[in-house]
């Protein structure tokens, strides 16, 4: 049996993405909280570490189906995948969710004051996340590709300078989405919620799930690979 307790959460998921399902069900943040060890998280959340390790040692029985082995992907391919799979979807769904939120605030805001706070928090995400993604697409990812193709010292310098900023912005956006989840009681629609209320919370839940994978791919796989590139 492999021992996982000293390993970082992000490292465990990077090695086998099926572990993300185990952590998700246990309420463990594997993206922005990926730098904590399994032992630290289990203690913090009062979880049974032996049970978690058992599940991680038996992922084929816990998680059905195959998962991409992102860790083995080339850096330039991973950059393109993130843009095509996650960035493009973010640009599409952000205004849609914002519009739905504004509608349910108007209809249900008096009876559910948390909706206004949720809408204000999501407005921050709606503003900050596209700016963050454009910085990656226009500066950070091209620098990674340039460093790969030409071993450019200038490109490596840009990569190095961008990583801390990108991670800081992930913390802001991820933390904001965490607050939305708590305020919405993890996207539980109240009894008087209309169809639009249900749709809005479903979209928010899907957005959070996508964001967790999106940030995991960058924080725990792409950024460490990019840092190694700057040292070569």
Position 29 scores a pLDDT of 83
The neighbour count for residue 157, using CB atoms within 10 Å, is: 13
What confidence tens digit (pLDDT) does each residue in 78-113 have? 999 999 999 999 999 999 999 999 999 999 999 999
Note whether 94 and 125 are within 8 A (CB): yes
SS3 175: helix
Position 149 scores a pLDDT of 94
The rounded distance, in Å, linking the Cα atoms of 160 and 49 is 35
SS3 150: helix
What confidence tens digit (pLDDT) does each residue in 134-181 have? 999 999 999 999 999 999 999 999 999 999 999 999 999 999 999 999
Position 64 scores a pLDDT of 59
Q: Is residue 57 over pLDDT 70?
A: yes
Question: Cα 147 from chain centroid?
Answer: 25
With 0-12 CB in 10 A as exposed, 13-18 as middle and 19+ as buried, what is 130?
Answer: middle
Q: What is the DSSP letter of 191?
A: T
Position 104 scores a pLDDT of 96
Position 176 scores a pLDDT of 97
């Amino acid at each position: 049996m492999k021992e996982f307790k000293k390993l970082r959460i992000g490292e465990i998921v990077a090695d086998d993405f099926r572990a993300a399902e185990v952590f998700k069900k246990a309420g463990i943040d594997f993206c922005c909280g990926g730098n904590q060890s399994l032992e630290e998280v289990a203690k913090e959340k009062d979880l049974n570490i032996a049970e978690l390790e058992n599940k991680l040692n038996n992922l084929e029985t816990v998680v059905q189906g195959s998962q991409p082995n992102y860790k083995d992907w080339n850096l330039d391919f991973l950059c393109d995948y993130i843009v095509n799979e996650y960035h493009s979807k973010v640009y599409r769904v952000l205004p849609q969710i914002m519009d739905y939120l504004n509608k349910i605030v108007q209809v249900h805001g008096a009876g559910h004051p948390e909706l206004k706070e949720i809408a204000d928090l999501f407005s921050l995400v709606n503003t900050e996340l596209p700016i963050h993604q454009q910085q990656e697409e226009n500066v950070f990812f091209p620098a990674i590709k340039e460093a790969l193709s030409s071993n450019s010292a200038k490109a490596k310098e840009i990569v190095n300078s961008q990583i801390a900023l990108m991670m800081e912005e992930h913390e802001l956006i991820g933390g904001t989405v965490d607050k939305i989840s708590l305020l919405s009681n993890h996207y539980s629609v109240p009894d008087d919620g209309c169809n639009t209320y249900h749709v809005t919370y479903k979209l928010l839940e899907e957005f959070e799930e996508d964001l967790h994978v999106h940030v995991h791919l960058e924080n725990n796989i792409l950024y460490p690979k990019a840092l190694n590139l700057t040292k070569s």
